[in-house]
């Protein structure tokens, strides 16, 4: 995996990487890429970004509850992911899982934006 540091923070895209059943999905805005590893998913996404967007600052955080995605949401997400893996997820739960994944993505984006604000000179 190639890691570049972006000094043009206003152009930097937030990339969120989510684990899937056997792959990882990297998402930045409306662009996404799937890879067998985190690095492969990020590299695939980076190839889709323009020169101005492609600078990457990688921040890895432990998954703990915060103001962007709380403990209750984390617990429910884990329960629904387990049901999905066991193929016992109802249609209603599938919809709820999709909403939680979107909320987690939004939380990651807002968390990165907050970090980005702290990094600006």
Indicate which CATH number applies to the domain containing 119: 1.10.287
Domain membership of residue 76 as a residue range: 64-121
State which of 58, 81, 107 marks the end of a domain. 58
Angle at CA 26, nearest 5°, toward 81 and 30? 105
Looking at the structure, do residues 47 and 68 belong to the same domain, yes or no?
A: no
What pLDDT score does 30 carry? Answer: 84
Looking at the structure, do residues 15 and 51 belong to the same domain, yes or no?
A: yes
Looking at the structure, do residues 48 and 69 belong to the same domain, yes or no?
A: no
Which phi and psi (to 5°) does residue 116 adopt?
-60, -40
Q: What is the mean pLDDT of residues 77-90?
A: 89
Looking at the structure, do residues 50 and 94 belong to the same domain, yes or no?
A: no
Angle at CA 62, nearest 5°, toward 15 and 1? 45
Judge whether residue 120 has pLDDT over 60: no
Looking at the structure, do residues 39 and 75 belong to the same domain, yes or no?
A: no
| Cβ atoms 67, 106 nearer than 8 A | no
Q: What is the mean pLDDT of residues 33-55?
A: 84
Looking at the structure, do residues 83 and 50 belong to the same domain, yes or no?
A: no
Using alpha carbons, select from 24, 21, 107, 19 the residue that is nearest to residue 71.
Answer: 107
Whole-number Å distance between alpha carbons of 18 and 118: 24
Looking at the structure, do residues 77 and 50 belong to the same domain, yes or no?
A: no
Strand ranges (E), the chain: 16-19, 24-28, 31-35
Does the model's pTM come out above 0.85? no
Give the number of domains in the chain: 2
State which of 58, 81, 99 marks the end of a domain. 58
Q: Which two tokens stand for residue 69?
A: 């995605």
What pLDDT score does 8 carry? Answer: 41
Looking at the structure, do residues 33 and 74 belong to the same domain, yes or no?
A: no
Whole-number Å distance between alpha carbons of 3 and 38: 12
């Amino acid at each position: 995996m190639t890691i570049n540091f972006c000094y043009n923070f206003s152009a930097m895209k937030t990339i969120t990487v989510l684990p899937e059943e056997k792959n990882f999905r990297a998402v930045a805005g409306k662009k996404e890429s799937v890879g067998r590893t985190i690095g492969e998913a990020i590299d695939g996404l980076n190839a889709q970004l323009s020169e101005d967007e492609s600078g990457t600052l990688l921040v890895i955080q432990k998954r703990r509850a915060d103001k962007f995605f709380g403990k209750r949401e984390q617990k429910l997400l884990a329960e629904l992911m387990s049901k999905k893996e066991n193929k016992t997820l109802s249609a209603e739960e599938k919809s709820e899982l999709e909403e939680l994944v979107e909320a987690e993505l939004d939380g990651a984006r807002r968390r990165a934006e907050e970090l980005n604000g702290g990094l600006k000179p």
